[in-house]
Amino acid sequence: MLLSEVKEGRSARIIKVGGESALRRRILEMGMVKGAEVYIEKYAPLKDPLELIVKGCHISLRVKEAEQIIVENL
């Protein structure tokens, strides 16, 4: 399943990070690596962007960026 499909208030584990090299590198630098646990804090009122908690840090991603990350539900 894609990270953009995870419901608000749920956790997931990252399986794979895809995307272009620049986008992929930026996502990996934020700590979103394979095996990391991600908690979906909330979606913005219009569902874009979404706020995540990864390793104790709050991160905002656009839905298009979140579609590049494959996760499994916890």
| Distance from C-alpha of 46 to C-alpha of 34, rounded to nearest angstrom | 28
Enclosing domain of residue 30 = 3-73
Q: Work out the mean pLDDT of the chain and round it to a whole number.
A: 90
Find the mean pLDDT for residues 34-62: 91
Phi, psi of 22 (to 5 degrees): -70, -45
Asked whether residue 58 carries a pLDDT value surpassing 90, the answer given is yes
**In terms of Cα–Cα distance, which of 49, 54, 5 is closest to 30?**
54
| pLDDT interval class at 45 (50, 70, 90) | confident
Domain containing residue 65: CATH number: 2.30.30.90
Query: What are the tens digits of pLDDT across the range 15-44?
Result: 999 888 888 898 888 888 999 999 999 998
Q: What does pTM read for this prediction?
A: 0.84
Total domains in the chain come to 1
Instruction: Report the share of the chain in percent with pLDDT over 70.
Output: 100
